[in-house]
Amino acid sequence: MKRPNTIVYGVDDKPPLAITVLTGLQHAAVLSIFLLFPVLVCREAGLSAEKIVDVLSFSMLVIGMGAIVQTLSRGPLGSGFLCPPSFGATYMPASFLAIKTGGLPLMFGMTVFAGLVEMALSRSLRRLRPYFPPEITGFVVVMIGVTLGTLGLRSAVVPDAAGNINLLQLSVAGIALTTMIALNVWTKGALRLFCALIGIAVGYAAAAAMGLLPATDIARLGTAPFFHLPNISHLGWSFDTALVVPFAVAALATILRAIGDITVCQKTNDADWVRPDTRSLSGGAMANGLSTLTAGMLGTMGTNTMTSNVGLAAATGITSRIVAYAIGGIFLLFAFMPKTATIFAIMPRPVVGAALLFASSLVFINGLFIITSRMLDARRTFVIGLSFMLGLSVDLFPGLFAGLPAGVQVFTSSSLVLGTLSALLLNLIFRLGVRRTQALVVDPASHDSQETEDFLSTQGAAWGARRDIIERANYTLRQSIETIIEACDPRGPLEIAASFDEFNLDIRVSYMGPSLELPDKSPTTDEIIDSEAGHRRLAGFLLRKLADRVEALHKSGRTTILLHFDH
Amino acid sequence: MKELEITLERSESNVVLHAAGPVDSNTAPQLQESLLRAAESPAGAVTLDLAKVGYMSSAGLRVLLMAAKVLQKRGERLHIASVPPQIYDVLNLAGFTSFIDITQ
């Protein structure tokens, strides 16, 4: 692993104590914003403010422990990176459904189940890859954004029983949201970094000024003790098979998000990063599963890795896992300080709405980026397009599925569940007959490297291959043809065959002539300059590094170079 | 077959070479001639602008290495500007980022 220039303190470094604590506080501030999700589910369950403080104390314990466990880098648990968890929209629809059906005990019980599902899935990531391609990961993120946005609108607009909108509440939401967006768009540094937190604070002030922050809530903050042991009277667990599908889908969405976040951690920390490290992905997903399981056991909602904190670590250049210990320590301390939890427990509803709307925009666009990282062919267009519309139908036409049998209604319980299931099913159907092969013959005497590039680019677009993989394969193929022609003096044409099956791109270059040298180590600079052999070794070294797997076979005078790229 | 075009921009303290087109075994000698001439001249820094270069093979990397060595002898470093991500990755893999100044 080679540290990029942008990283000040890498994952294995030990920053000075002051920097560790300050960076830990910065991360803790960002993670705290997401405590509004447990607040939302507790309010949906009709829990009193005192009990919400207890739930938040346990929620902080879960974040603290999760941040530390995620840093483990040996064995099956932990990604080895600074990638702390918090609460997000992924478990919102399923948690709301559980509260409606069986109250908080059912939500806690099903969260334990979801944690177990996450842990089980984390062990089979490689085998499951064909069923969860990136466009489906992106689609799930988009649907989470839609869910967040819908919830945010409902919280911000707050119509009364007659459907009239409360303009005062709408104003508070507007002020909070405008602050967040303005700071995010027009400022830099700390103001931009903490735009959500500052927006929430401004929202509190506006709510207090407009009389929307009840005096009892303010008094509660004053009377909350500095230290206490959280009460466990809200704890209880139950299980309902009807909720297996919504929670399993949420667990799946969480795994997909963890894969995305940990991949970014790997790239951020390694300038030589070429492909995801499966052990780290699997361990990270397993660690988050353990956090979700612990969350259910301690009486709060499921967790997911936080993209915002992964971004924060990259932006500050401090990715040391020591910072995760600081985050853990801060939250373990906050968990026993009810004043901190009370601040979040009394958050006015329009402020919650503003924060959700702000987060939904970022999540939605993040999802779109992941989807468009693929070249979208006709199959993917329909997988994403149809599933999106089907998912939205749950919110647009709430009565549409009311007549279905109860057993089927679990599949239509939220836009996230229906959309994800539809995408998974359509993806399975469209996988039929996906492996395709194309051939090209190159004459060494009149070789035009542009022709090779056009061949692979055209095929890549037709196959719907990822742009970054096609670009890497293109470079590797052009470099191998150039080296073969320059160094191996091939007799007759070079025969090239490229085949693609969604998860593998294999290129076979076959010619009559001696084999290529594919060394593991780069030649020295003097060797490269002083001799043609050194230059050829550099070319061979690049081929070995650029392809995910490379092999040279030589038989009866014919050499075959096999270049494999994971897709 | 795409050609490589190189234009020169010279000031008192700096020479900037703007390359456009692929740098492969066919075109690398052309880059070598221009870049080494700039590196060997007594004028100060040498910058190679790769904004319009979509492909650079190991032959191109070798030329960069030669120029960097020449510049190193008179206490200068080679600067490469507007490096496309694909070429940056290759420079990084080859370990060239430690002795060449690169801006993406």
Pick A269 or A30 by higher pLDDT: A269
Strand partners, B56: B23
Per-residue b/e over A20-39, b at no fewer than 16 CB within 10 Å? bebbbebbbebbbbbbbbbb
Task: Indicate if the pLDDT at residue A71 is higher than 90.
Answer: yes
Partners of residue A448 in chain B, C-beta under 8 Å: 1
Highest mean pLDDT among A248-257, A341-350, A537-546: A537-546
Task: Indicate if the pLDDT at residue A126 is higher than 80.
Answer: no
Query: How many residues does the structure list for chain A?
Result: 567
Task: Indicate if the pLDDT at residue A331 is higher than 70.
Answer: yes
Calculate the CA dihedral of residues A215, A219, A220, A225 and round it to 10 degrees.
170
Report ipTM for this prediction.
0.92
CB contact under 8 A, A538 and B61: yes
Q: What is the pLDDT of residue A404?
A: 84
Q: How confident is the model at residue B79 (pLDDT cuts 50, 70, 90)?
A: very high
Task: Indicate if the pLDDT at residue A417 is higher than 80.
Answer: yes
Asked whether the beta carbons of A199 and A354 are under 8 A apart, the reply is yes
> Which residue is closest to B102 within chain A, CA to CA?
A5
Any chain B CB within 8 A of the CB of A467?
no
Pick A291 or A34 by higher pLDDT: A291
Q: CA-to-CA distance for A563 and A505, rounded, in angstroms?
A: 8
Q: Cβ–Cβ contacts within 10 Å for residue A146, how many?
A: 22
Full 3-state SS string of A412-428: HCCHHHHHHHHHHHHHH
Which residue among A475, A483, A486 sits closest to B86, beta carbon to beta carbon?
A475
Q: What is the pLDDT of residue A274?
A: 66
Highest mean pLDDT among A174-183, A360-369, A406-415: A174-183
Q: CA-to-CA distance for A205 and A208, rounded, in angstroms?
A: 5
Asked whether the beta carbons of A126 and A321 are under 8 A apart, the reply is no
The C-alpha angle with vertex A53 and arms to A351 and A312, in degrees rounded to 5, equals 55
Q: What is the pLDDT of residue A387?
A: 96
A238, two tokens: 């139950």
Q: How confident is the model at residue A435 (pLDDT cuts 50, 70, 90)?
A: confident
Partners of residue B58 in chain A, C-beta under 8 Å: 479, 482-483, 535, 538-539, 542
Q: For chain A, give the mean pLDDT.
A: 89
CB contact under 8 A, B62 and A525: no
Q: What is the pLDDT of residue A53?
A: 92
Closest CA to A218 of A336, A337, A347: A347
The C-alpha of B92 sits at a distance from chain A's nearest C-alpha, in angstroms, of 7
Find the DSSP H helices in A464-503.
467-483
Q: What is the pLDDT of residue A56?
A: 95
Q: In the predicted model, what is the mean pLDDT of residues A449-457?
A: 86
Q: What is the pLDDT of residue A392?
A: 93
Asked whether the beta carbons of A243 and A410 are under 8 A apart, the reply is yes
Indicate the burial class of A493 (C-beta count within 10 angstroms; 0-12, 13-18, 19 or more).
middle
Indicate the burial class of A197 (C-beta count within 10 angstroms; 0-12, 13-18, 19 or more).
middle
Q: CA-to-CA distance for A44 and A138, rounded, in angstroms?
A: 29
pLDDT digits (tens, 9 = 90+) for B15-27: 999 999 999 999 9
The C-alpha of A522 sits at a distance from chain B's nearest C-alpha, in angstroms, of 7
Q: In the predicted model, what is the mean pLDDT of residues A79-98?
A: 92
Q: What is the pLDDT of residue A275?
A: 67
Closest CA to A308 of A361, A348, A272: A361
Helix (H) or strand (E) holding A558: strand A558-566
Task: Indicate if the pLDDT at residue A292 is higher than 80.
Answer: yes
Task: Indicate if the pLDDT at residue A482 is higher than 90.
Answer: yes
Q: What is the pLDDT of residue A90?
A: 85
Q: What is the pLDDT of residue A276?
A: 74
Which residue among A272, A453, A538 sits closest to B58, beta carbon to beta carbon?
A538
Q: In the predicted model, what is the mean pLDDT of residues A87-106?
A: 91
In the 8-state DSSP scheme, what is residue A231?
Answer: P
Full 3-state SS string of A78-99: CCCCCCCEEECHHHHHHHHHHH
For A68, what's the count of Cα atoms within 13 Å in the CB-facing half-sphere? Answer: 13
Q: What is the pLDDT of residue B1?
A: 60
CB contact under 8 A, B93 and A479: no
Task: Report the helix count and the strand count for chain A, using DSSP H and E.
Answer: 23, 7
Any chain B CB within 8 A of the CB of A525?
yes
Q: For chain B, give the mean pLDDT.
A: 91
Q: What is the pLDDT of residue A125?
A: 84
Q: How confident is the model at residue A405 (pLDDT cuts 50, 70, 90)?
A: confident
A51, two tokens: 């009990």
Full 3-state SS string of chain B: CCCCEEEEEECCCEEEEEEECCECCCCHHHHHHHHHHHHHCCCCEEEEEEEECCCECHHHHHHHHHHHHHHHHCCCCEEEECCCHHHHHHHHHCCHHHCEEECC
Q: CA-to-CA distance for A106 and A99, rounded, in angstroms?
A: 7
